[in-house]
Amino acid sequence: MTMQPGLVWIVDDDSAIRWVLERALTGAGLCCTTFDNGQAVLTALSSQTPDVLLSDIRMPGMDGLALLQQIKQRHPLLPVIIMTAHSDLDAAVSAYQQGAFDYLPKPFDIDEAVALVERAISHYQEQQQP
């Protein structure tokens, strides 16, 4: 059985971060959808579910931790990777406590980011097997 290419949702208020991640992940054969705020992600979740969500932690309006909490209530198995600045260790710990799959410190190595997303997708797709 062949696996479908993973569907990755990227949410970050910084368009440059969204662009870089989308380019790298698409180049790795993954399908990407980008969002600039958490509310848009929650709206989209009513009609589709990704294989992994990559979210910034610091965004105007709904921050990444609030989004993580909402997603875990609706889709407890969905892996969420939280992106955070190196200096924001408390937020990373909080993200783990709330069920994040992992965190990606900014600035990040793009190859490490792709590898982390691929691990999260494999983990999620394995959980979906009967």
Residue 1 is assigned to a structural domain of this protein: no
The CATH number of whichever domain residue 44 belongs to comes to: 3.40.50.2300
What pLDDT shows up at residue 2? 44
Which domain covers residue 106, as residue numbers? 7-128
Residue 102 is assigned to a structural domain of this protein: yes
Cα gap 60→26, rounded to integer Å:
26
Task: Report how far Cα 86 is from the mean position of its chain's Cα atoms.
Answer: 17
Residue 23 is assigned to a structural domain of this protein: yes
- In order along its 130 residues, the chain shows pLDDT tens digits of 345 679 999 999 999 999 999 999 999 999 999 999 999 999 999 999 999 999 999 999 999 999 999 999 999 999 999 998 766 778 888 899 999 999 999 899 999 999 999 999 999 999 888 7
Question: pTM of whole model > 0.75?
Answer: yes
Q: Tell me how many domains the chain contains.
A: 1
Distance (Å) of CA 14 to CA 3, 6, 11, 24: 31, 23, 9, 16
User: Two tokens at 112?
Assistant: 């490490």
Residue 2 is assigned to a structural domain of this protein: no
